[in-house]
Amino acid sequence: MARHRKKAPSQHARQKISSKSILDFFHEANRPLRVRDVLAAFSTGNNEKKQIKSILDTLVNQGKLLRSGHKLALVGKLPLVKGTLEVQRSGVGFVIPEDKRRKDIFVAPDNFGEAWPNDTVLVAILPGRRGRSQSGRIVRVLKRALSVLPCLVLKRVGPASFVCRPADPKIPLLFTADCNSLTVLPHPNDIILVSPDERIDKSMWMGTATSILGEEGTLAVQEKLVKIGHAIPGPFPPSAMHQAADLPSQPWPDDFKNRKDLRHLGLVTIDGASARDFDDAIHVARTNTGFRLHVAIADVSHYVLPGSPLDRVALERGNSYYFPLSVEPMLPEALSNGLCSLNPHEPRLAMVAEIEFSSQGIPQKSSFYSAVIMSHARLTYAQVNEALFLNNAEVRQELQDVLPMLETAEILARKLLANRQQRGSIDFDLPEPEIIQDPDELAIQVVPKKRHFGHQMIEEFMLAANEAVAEYLTACKVPFLYRVHPNPDQDKLDALMKLLARTDLGEQLPKGRSPKELQELLLVAKESDMEFLVNRLLLRSMMKAGYSPNNQGHFGLASECYCHFTSPIRRYADINVHRALKACLAHQEARLPGKKSLIKLGDAINQCERKAMQAEREILKRATILHLRERIGEVFVGVISGLADFGFWVELEDILAEGLVRMSTLGDDYYAFLNREQIILGQRTGKTYKLGQRVHVRVENASLGRLEIDLGIVEEGNNQGTGANARKQRQPRS
């Protein structure tokens, strides 16, 4: 019988076990290794195994090794990608690469390292992940998105030391905040700003409080923390303010030279009652062959010159940011509410799109030019509604000078809308929420914003002008930023149709996926219980619109050529279009930025627009929760808008809020989620919950900490005190 020879120890087994020797071993192997590979190379006993495992854990925590499945890899050997960390509601993250050619990189919460949402990071690509997205681990934070974090004070733990947690639920940490620098100490439930110092352990940091925003339960404080949390720009830099101060309060007479004088034309502005900046005015007249539309837009680019302090600050902001109690404008007030605002009965510089339409509302020819104009009236949507659609005699008398023009404008607008719908433009019929705070600044309401054809009328004219300008600039072959809306992902649309096939609309679904067929789907759902849900789900399946020098068309509008021309006071992209239009009219195209520069510009503006949308959604969510915290226990009617294995979401009809009914709260049966059938089924009763189903729900909790609304099902016949009636029945708060 052959004798077994004892395996000789490797040269690493003879070395002193240390971080350096283990790292050297990984370098020599030049490949990811299992823990057992390292143990085999170094260990000779149980004590050494414990020591090696401890060192490996330390190297992982230090970011020198990455754990991927059962293997460990050297960070320095892995590809590193620079990008921005975005954290989803579920807690998982994606790094959005700076290089737009790369796909987003999935990052599990355990692989965040010290990164927080929106930080600029380096992520190492982990080997071996299958599927559509690569997986990574963040190895370094290059730049914090925020230097201070809004935090909720939980309790006092020392003379000037307080435990607090970030107001952003996507940052699941605690801070021990040193408040010695504050003139007064905070109280529990106050929001303070904390500058992070050092990490104590995985979920606890030390920090220094820099200021107190106020008590958590007020809309003003919630608005402040959203602005800080999304890095919304605040006061303008001195250079921009100085340049704005040097501008005149009215245009100089010399500015009128080489401009068409339209001050005689009865242009009017139509905006909301609270609007302070008016950047578009319209006039519609009958012609022998149809209609003539004038759309006059504030000539912001006359005052905001490329490379100037005002230009730099407008580019940095990208757009204006709107909140319930305030606005952070793209341009200083001297321009946005003064010199560039088309205030009534004051001369203003404008860029004009003049479009001739046939009697059927088909565009025939367009012309574009710089002009001096004067708005003849500042109208509100409410006035137009009362005069045109409610036939209010008193308001009609007030508007008698412009009423005939408005009646002509309505006729043209309805023709434009019909033509747009005929070509397949998708009009989502989703009510917009409006946040209203009572004069006492305590009670908050979130209600559907009232809309009527007066709003639609102005939208139709702006769409027509935007399309006409885009077509003209395309024909001129000048570089500019299109407003593009890519075709939706077919897989998403197919998944949506499969979902809707299991609803009451199953037999009426369109066969195709063109804009016109999707518009038909919305018409089929109209006036049914499925209307809101179909609009919401279809909108979610759409791609994001954005700005690009490459014309990809606008899917939602079924437009082959579209841009943004009509709002240069609040959108930088429109300033770019105005400059391109002026260059084309003056035959000075050589002065315009090239395509590569426009790609960068479009990306920058898209990021600003995305930031504005995220901030707007968050303040709406927070305002809704503030509102519902005062209505705990009330019953509302809602529509089931989503299903999961742990419950279902319900969209409340009265206040346009979404809450979760957890499966664990359904006490009359054991329920299971059947993914294929897209229903939640009671095992004993056979009761089902499905998409689009109307249900009565009670508000159980509204949490600012989680930014979530908890709902409970109310059985039919037990829904007394629904909505507004319930408020009357509640006892006053002590």
Tabulate helix, strand, coil % of the chain (nearest 5). 35, 30, 40
Architecture of domain 631-729: Beta Barrel (2.40)
Q: Which pLDDT band holds residue 12 (cuts at 50, 70, 90)? A: low
Least confident range from 132-146, 382-396, 400-414, 626-640: namely 132-146
pLDDT tens for 112-137 read 989 999 999 989 888 765 556 788 88
Question: What pLDDT is stored for residue 14 in this prediction?
Answer: 54
Least confident range from 208-222, 441-455, 713-727: namely 713-727
> Please, which residues bridge with residue 689 across strands?
680
534 φ, ψ (degrees, to nearest 5): -65, -45
Question: What pLDDT is stored for residue 733 in this prediction?
Answer: 31
Least confident range from 44-48, 87-91, 665-669: namely 44-48
- In the sheet where 260-261 sits, what is the strand order? 260-261, 363-374, 347-358, 290-298, 280-286, 268-271, 377-380
Query: Rounded distance, CA 141 to CA 161, Å?
Result: 27
Q: What's the rounded mean pLDDT across residues 323-334?
A: 95
Question: What pLDDT is stored for residue 552 in this prediction?
Answer: 94
Question: What pLDDT is stored for residue 90 in this prediction?
Answer: 84
Question: What pLDDT is stored for residue 442 in this prediction?
Answer: 64
Q: Which pLDDT band holds residue 718 (cuts at 50, 70, 90)? A: low
Length of the chain: 734
Q: What's the rounded mean pLDDT across residues 240-260?
A: 95
Query: Rounded distance, CA 650 to CA 669, Å?
Result: 20
Domains 19-74 and 149-216 share a fold: no
Contact status, residue 643 vs residue 680, Cβ threshold 8 Å: yes
Distance of CA 75 to the CA centre of its chain: 34
Q: Which residue has the tokens 């007249």?
A: 285
484-512 b/e (C-beta count within 10 Å ≥ 16 → b): bbeebeeeebeebbeebeebebeeebeee
Question: What pLDDT is stored for residue 588 in this prediction?
Answer: 85
- Predicted confidence (pLDDT) at residue 275 exceeds the cutoff of 80: yes
Q: Which pLDDT band holds residue 498 (cuts at 50, 70, 90)? A: confident
> Under CATH, what is the fold of the domain 19-74?
Arc Repressor Mutant, subunit A (1.10.10)
Of 188-202, 440-454, 708-722, highest mean pLDDT: 188-202
DSSP states of 675-696: TTTTEEEETTT--EEETT-EEE
Question: What pLDDT is stored for residue 17 in this prediction?
Answer: 84
Least confident range from 299-308, 411-420, 447-456: namely 447-456
CA count, 13 A, side-chain hemisphere, 340: 27
Give me the helices (H) in 266-402, please. 309-317, 333, 381-384, 393-398
Burial of 18 (0-12, 13-18, 19+ CB in 10 A): exposed
Question: What pLDDT is stored for residue 727 in this prediction?
Answer: 39
Query: Rounded distance, CA 155 to CA 137, Å?
Result: 34
475 φ, ψ (degrees, to nearest 5): -65, -30
Question: What pLDDT is stored for residue 80 in this prediction?
Answer: 83
How many other C-beta atoms can be found within 10 angstroms of the C-beta atom of residue 705? 13
For 169, the token pair is 């639920």
Which of left, alpha, beta for 18 (phi over 0: left; psi -120 to 50: alpha)? beta
Which CATH number among 2.40.50.140, 2.60.40.10, 3.40.50.620, 2.40.160.20 corresponds to the domain 78-143?
2.40.50.140
Query: Rounded distance, CA 172 to CA 672, Å?
Result: 30
407-440 b/e (C-beta count within 10 Å ≥ 16 → b): ebbbebbebbbebbeeebbbbeeeeeeebebeee
- Predicted confidence (pLDDT) at residue 11 exceeds the cutoff of 50: yes
CA terminus-to-terminus distance, the chain: 93
- Predicted confidence (pLDDT) at residue 732 exceeds the cutoff of 50: no
Of 138-142, 341-345, 512-516, 652-656, highest mean pLDDT: 341-345
Question: What pLDDT is stored for residue 161 in this prediction?
Answer: 97
- Predicted confidence (pLDDT) at residue 623 exceeds the cutoff of 90: yes
Question: What pLDDT is stored for residue 344 in this prediction?
Answer: 96
Query: Rounded distance, CA 497 to CA 501, Å?
Result: 6
Report the mean per-residue pLDDT for the chain.
89
Q: Which pLDDT band holds residue 213 (cuts at 50, 70, 90)? A: very high
276 vs 468: which has the higher pLDDT: 468
Q: What's the rounded mean pLDDT across residues 71-77?
A: 81
Which of these, 485, 482, 465, 461, lies nearest to 562 by C-alpha position? 482
Which of left, alpha, beta for 434 (phi over 0: left; psi -120 to 50: alpha)? beta
- Predicted confidence (pLDDT) at residue 13 exceeds the cutoff of 80: no
Query: Rounded distance, CA 412 to CA 296, Å?
Result: 17
Which CATH number among 2.70.70.10, 3.90.226.10, 2.40.50.140, 3.40.50.360 corresponds to the domain 149-216?
2.40.50.140
Q: Above pLDDT 70, what percent of the chain?
A: 93
Least confident range from 52-61, 67-76, 125-134: namely 125-134
For 647, the token pair is 């419950």
- Predicted confidence (pLDDT) at residue 574 exceeds the cutoff of 90: yes
For 240, the token pair is 């921009």
pTM for this prediction: 0.85
Q: What's the rounded mean pLDDT across residues 571-592?
A: 93
3-state secondary structure of 171: coil
Q: What one-letter code names the amino acid at 452?
A: H
Q: What's the rounded mean pLDDT across residues 686-708?
A: 94
Question: What pLDDT is stored for residue 175 in this prediction?
Answer: 97
Question: What pLDDT is stored for residue 57 in this prediction?
Answer: 86
- Predicted confidence (pLDDT) at residue 604 exceeds the cutoff of 70: yes
Q: Above pLDDT 90, what percent of the chain?
A: 66
Query: Rounded distance, CA 607 to CA 106, Å?
Result: 20
Question: What pLDDT is stored for residue 59 in this prediction?
Answer: 87
Q: Which pLDDT band holds residue 441 (cuts at 50, 70, 90)? A: low
497 vs 307: which has the higher pLDDT: 307
Query: Rounded distance, CA 329 to CA 332, Å?
Result: 7
Which of these, 361, 381, 378, lies nearest to 464 by C-alpha position? 361
Q: Greatest CA span in the chain, whole angstroms?
A: 117
Of 37-51, 427-441, 451-465, highest mean pLDDT: 451-465
For 60, the token pair is 């992982």
Element (DSSP H or E) covering residue 699: strand 694-703
Q: What's the rounded mean pLDDT across residues 64-87?
A: 83
Q: What angle do CA 426, 485, 522 make, to 5 degrees?
A: 15
Question: What pLDDT is stored for residue 140 in this prediction?
Answer: 83
Of 201-205, 491-495, 547-551, 640-644, highest mean pLDDT: 547-551
Least confident range from 199-203, 524-528, 633-637: namely 524-528
- Predicted confidence (pLDDT) at residue 336 exceeds the cutoff of 70: yes
Query: Rounded distance, CA 405 to CA 140, Å?
Result: 62
For 731, the token pair is 């006892």
Query: Rounded distance, CA 592 to CA 473, Å?
Result: 12
Q: What angle do CA 423, 429, 431 make, to 5 degrees?
A: 150
Contact status, residue 427 vs residue 520, Cβ threshold 8 Å: no
Which of these, 409, 79, 429, 441, lies nearest to 270 by C-alpha position? 409
Q: What's the rounded mean pLDDT across residues 631-650?
A: 94
Domain-by-domain residue ranges, the chain? Answer: 19-74, 78-143, 149-216, 247-425+441-478+568-615, 488-542, 631-729
Q: Which pLDDT band holds residue 509 (cuts at 50, 70, 90)? A: confident
For 288, the token pair is 């022998």
Question: What pLDDT is stored for residue 539 in this prediction?
Answer: 87
Question: What pLDDT is stored for residue 687 in this prediction?
Answer: 94
DSSP states of 404-449: HHHHHHHHHHHHHHHHHHHHT------PPEEEEE-TTS--EEEEEP
What are the C-alpha distances in Å from 644 to residues 514, 554, 650, 690? 29, 33, 12, 11
Query: Rounded distance, CA 216 to CA 151, Å?
Result: 10
